[in-house]
Structure 1
Amino acid sequence: MNPPTLFKNYSFIFVWLATAFSTVGFSMYTITVSWHLSNNLGLAAAVGIVLTTAAIPRVVVMILGGVLADKYQKSKVMFVTHVFQSLTIAELCFMFNEEALTFPFLLLFSFLMGLFDAFYWPASSSIIPTIVRNEDLQQANSIVQGSHTLFYVLGPIIGGVIISSFSVGASFLASAIMVILSAIFVFPHFIKDTIPTPTTEKTSMIRELREGFGYVKRSPVHYWGVIIIVIIHFFVLGPLGNSFPILVTSLKGTALDLSYMEAALGIGTFVAAILMVVISKRKVGTKLIFLFLFITAILLTIFSRLESILLLTLLATGIGFAAIVAYLPIITLIQQKTEQKKLGRVMSIVTLSSNGVEPLAFAFISAMMTAGFTIHTLLTMLGVGCLLFGLIAYSRAKEFRKIESITSTLMVDNK
C-alpha cells in the first residue's frame, strides 16, 4: 500500500514535529551550555573545546550508526536516542541546581550528546524515503530542512529569554522537555515505518561498513553527490559561520550585528528550502545543482572583499540561499537512488560528508590565521577553491550532470 499524499501522511507529520521540537531543544541546549561556560564559569575560551568534544564521537561513530539504522526500525533508533539525550540534559539541570556543573562534567555530557547524535542522525536522515511517496520526497526534504533552519534560529532566542527570566537550570529543563516531546512524536507506533527483515546470513560490522562505502563509490550519483556536499560544507558553510565573529570584531561591530549576520544566513537557507517546496513538482536537473554551486562560490568571493557589515549581512542571505538550492536536490537524489536496506549506511556517509568536514574547515581557518593570513584573504581562497573544485566536478561528473529531471528519473528507476 502506497503512503498517502504528503499533508495527509501522519507518519511524515509526526517526524516533522519531532524534528521541530528536537531542533529547538538542541539549539537551546547549545546556547545554555555556552552561556554557563562564559558567564558562570568564566571559561568563554572553552566553548569551542566543549563543542569539539561533542563533534568527535559524532564523526567517528556515525558510520556505525548507519549500520544500526539499516538493521533496526529507524523510528525506534530515533526514539531511544532522544530518550537518552533528554535524560542527559535533565541531569545537567539537576547538577546546575546542585552547583556541581563544572567544566569536566560539561565535557563528559557533551561527549555523550555527540555519541547519541551519531546514532540518531543516520536514522533521521534515512527515514523520510521510507514513509513518503517518491514524488513527494523533494517536498518533504525541503519542508524538514526549512523547519530545521527556522527552529534553529528560534531555539537560542527562547533559551536566552528563559535564562534571563529564570536561570540556566530552567533553560536546561525546557530543553529536556523539548527533546522528550520529540521522542514522543517519533514513537515507532505512531510512525509505523518499515521494520527491516532479519537476515539469516551473519555479517561482520566491518563488512557492512565496507559494503556501504563500496555502494557509494560505485554509483556516480552517490559518489558525485557526496563530493559536491563536501565542497559546499568545507569551502562555504563550515568556514562561513566561523568567520562571522571574526569579521564583526575586525569591523568594530556589536553583538547585535553578529546576531543579524547569523540570522541572515538562516533566512537565506529557509527561503531556499521554501523555494524547493514550491518547485518540487517541476523538472529539476542536476545542472541546477552545479549552477548554484558556482553562484555560491562567486558570492563567497565577493563577500570576502567587503568591508561593510550591512553588505556582508545582505550577502550572507544570498550565500545561504544559493548553497541550499545546490544541496537539497542532492539529498533527494541520493535517497531515491539508494536501496532501502542500505539507506542508513549511505545517509550516514552523506551526513558525515557534511558534518564531518566542518570541523576540518574550522581547523583550517584557525591554523591559517595563526600563520598570519587575514580572514578576508582566507575567504577569498575558499571562494576560489569552491569554484575551482566545482568546475573539476562538473567536467568529470558526466553521468551525474546528464540527469535532466531528478523527480521523474527517480520515479521511473523505482518502479
Structure 2
Amino acid sequence: MSSSFSPDEFTPAAGEAQAPETPVAASETGVKSAATKPSTAKQAVGGLLRPFKVLNFSLLFGGQTISVIGNALYTVALPWLILNNGGSAQELGIVLAAYGIPRMGCMLMGGWLADRLRPRRVMLIADIVRAVLVGLLALLALQGHPTLWQLCAIAVPLGALGGAFMPASMSILPDILNDDDLQGGNALNMSSMQGANLLGSAVAGVIVAIFTAGVGLLIDAATFVISAVSLALMRMKSSAPGNKREAGAASAASPDEAQAQEAPVSFLSFLRSSQLIHVVLLIAVAGGFCLGGLIEVALPAFVHGPMHGSASDYGIILAGASAGALVGGIFAGMLGKLKYKGLTMLGSGLLVAVSFGLLPFAGVLGAAVCMLIGGLTNSITNVLLFTKIQLIVPRHLLGRMMGLITFGSFGMYPVSAALMGVLSNQFGPALLFPCSGLLLALVMLLAMTQKSLRES
C-alpha cells in the first residue's frame, strides 16, 4: 500500500492481477475453463467464508460475537436494574450520559493507541478491564441497590474503554487477513454483530425476567472474559498479511520510488492530501446526522403519533432494519469480484436515502419493508466503505483514521437527536424523513462526482 494518496490506490491489488497467459489455442482454453471454472455462486460463497481458514480470524469472530450478545444483556439489564430499584428516568439518563460522553470522547484516543500499541493489544486490555468493571457492577446489583454515584463511577471508565475499543476493532482485520479477504471479513463481522444483537436482545429479556439484572450483568462480564481469551490466543506476525503486497511493490520500484514508499507519511499530511478520506468523512458525518436522530427520535414519535401504531408495530419496524442489515452484510461479502465496488457502495447509499425518505408514506408493513431495504443497503455501503479505507490508508495510520471516522459519525448523534426532537415538535416527525433522505442523497451524489471513488 502506498504511503501517500494517489489514484493508483484504487486499482486492483497486485495480488489480484492475473499472471501473463501462455499461448494456448482458443478451443483448448475454452475447454479448460469450462471444465475447471466454478460457478459464480460457489465462488461468491467461497470468498465470503475464506477468512475462516485463518485461525486468528476465527478466534476474533467467535470472541466478538459472544461479546456482542453480552452487550445486549447489559443494554437490557442496566435500565431494569435502575428502574426496578426505585430509580427514576432522570437517574437512568445521568448514568447513560456518564457512559456515552466518555465513550465518544475516547474514540480519537483509541485510534491513536491502536496505532501505537496495535489493535489487538488495545482490545485485549479494554476487554480485561471491562470484565472487571461489569463484574463489580454485577456484584453490587446482586448484593443490594447500587447508588447513583456507584453506577456513574463504573459507567465512566466503561464508556471510555468502549470508545477506545471501537477504532481498534475496526482496524484489526488488515493485521490478520490479506487484502483479498478483507471484504469477506468485514461482511462476516457485520453480519455476526447483527445476528448477535437479535439473539442477545431476545435472550436478555428472558434472563433478566426469570432471574435478575445482576445475573444478566454477571453473564455480560463472562462474555468479556471469553472475548479477552480469544484475543490472547491469537498469534500475530511481525508484519501484516497485506504488507507482503507493499513489500513486493517496493522491490519492483526504482530506488527513488522505493524510498518514497518506505517513508512514513504523517497522519495530518495524509488527511490533507487524501480526497477519498475527505469524502468518507463527509459520508460518515452525514450518516450520523441524518439517521441517528431520525431512527432514535423521529421514528418512535412518528409511529406513536401520526401512524397511530403500537409498541409492537414499532418493534416490527425495527426488526425489519435488523433483518435487512444481517442479510446485507452477508450479501456484501459475496461481492468480492465485483468490478465497480465504489459505484455499488454509493448506489447502495442512495437506496438508503430513498428508503428512509419513503417510510412515512408506506404504513406499518411498508415502513418495515423500507427499514429492511435501508438496513440491507446500509450494510452493503458500510462493508465496502470500510474495506476501501483499510486498503488505502497506510497501516500505521489506520487506527487514528478509524477513530476520526467513528468520532465524526457518533459525534453527530447528540446533535441529530436534539435537532430531530425540536423539529418533530415544530413541524411533525413525518416531514423529517424525506428531508433527511434528500440530504443524505445529495451527499451520495456529491461523492459520485469523485471519479477515483466512483470507479474503484
Question: What TM-score, normalized by structure 1, do the two folds share?
Answer: 0.86
1:323 aligns with 2:368: no
In the other structure, the counterpart of 2:275 is: 220
2:405 maps to amino acid: V
- Contact kept? 2:296, 2:417, Cα under 8 Å: no
Contact 2:70 2:224 in 1 (8 A): yes
- Out of 63, 66, 76, the position equivalent to 1:21 is 66
Q: What is the aligned-residue RMSD (CA, Å)? A: 2.3
Partner deviation per Cα, 1:277-296 (whole Å, 9 max, x = no partner): 12223324211122122221
Partners of 1:46 and 1:303 in 2: how far apart? 34
Q: Which residue of 2 aligns with 1:236?
A: 291
* Identity fraction in percent: 24
- The superposition leaves residues 207-249 of structure 1 with CA deviations (integer Å, 9 ceiling, x where unpaired) of xxx9434423321222212222222232125522443322332
- Range moving further from structure 2, 225-234 or 162-171: 225-234
Cα distance change on mapping 1:185 and 1:392 into 2, 3 Å: same
TM-superposition CA deviations, 1:160-203 (whole Å, max 9, x none): 1111111111111111111111111111x42425489xxxxxxx
- Name the residue aligned to 2:451: 398
Deviates more, 1:373-382 or 1:229-238: 229-238
Q: Which residue of 2 aligns with 1:375?
A: 429
Deviation at 1:254, TM superposition (A): 2.9
* Number of aligned positions between the proteins: 384
CA distance in 2, matches of 1:45, 1:261: 27
Aligned counterpart for 2:312 among listed residues 234, 238, 256:
256
Partner in structure 1 of residue 323 of structure 2: 267
Question: What is the match of residue 6 of structure 1?
Answer: 51
- Specify the alignment match of 2:392 in structure 1: 337
Change (3 A) 1:352 1:128: same
CA deviation after TM superposition for structure 1 residue 335, in Å? 0.5
User: Aligned match of 1:293 in 344, 349, 352?
Assistant: 349
Q: Which residue of structure 1 lines up, in the alignment, with residue 160 of structure 2? A: 115
Paired residue for 1:32, among 77, 101, 108?
77
Q: Which residue of 2 aligns with 1:203?
A: none
Q: Give the Cα–Cα distance (whole angstroms) in 2 for the partners of residues 180 and 284 of structure 1.
A: 41
- 2: CA distance, partners of 1:230 / 1:382: 13
Query: Residue 70 of structure 1 corresponds to which residue in structure 2?
Result: 115
Q: Go from structure 1 to structure 2 and tell me whether the alpha carbon gap of 1:84 and 1:138 turns closer, same or farther (over 3 Å shift).
A: same
Residues 58 and 118 in structure 1, CA contact (< 8 A), matched pair in contact too = yes
Distance in 2 of aligned mates of 1:264 and 1:49: 31
> Structure 1: how far apart are the matches of 2:297 and 2:155?
20
**Distance (whole Å) between structure 2 residues aligned to residue 267 and residue 298 of structure 1:** 18
Q: Is the 8 A contact 2:298 2:424 kept in 1?
A: no
Q: Is the 8 A contact 2:289 2:415 kept in 1?
A: yes
Judged with a 3 Å threshold, the aligned counterparts in structure 2 of structure 1 residues 255 and 102 are, in CA distance, closer, same or farther, namely: farther
Assess if the C-alpha contact under 8 Å between 1:146 and 1:270 holds in 2.
yes
How far, CA to CA, are the matches of 1:348 and 1:195 in structure 2?
22
CA shift for structure 1 position 52: 3.2
The structure whose Rg is larger is: 2
Structure 1 residue runs of 5 or longer lacking an equivalent are 197-209, 404-415
Question: Residues of 2 paired with 1:379 and 1:82: CA distance?
Answer: 38
Q: 1:88 to 1:38 in 2, by over 3 A?
A: same
For 2:234, what is the secondary structure of its paired residue?
helix
Unaligned runs of 5+ in 2: 1-14, 16-48, 241-264
Residue identity in the other structure for 1:392: L
Q: For the Cα contact (< 8 Å) 1:297–1:384, is it kept in 2?
A: yes
- The amino acid that maps onto 2:290 is F
1:72-221 paired onto structure 2 within 5 Å: 72-187=117-232, 189-192=233-236, 194=238, 211-221=266-276
Contact 2:324/2:374 (<8 A) preserved: yes
**Which whole-Å CA distance do the structure 2 matches of 1:290 and 1:334 have between them?**
14
Q: CA deviation at 1:13?
A: 0.6
| 1:305-355 Cα deviation digits (max 9, x unpaired) | 34x222212211111112222222110000011111111111111222332
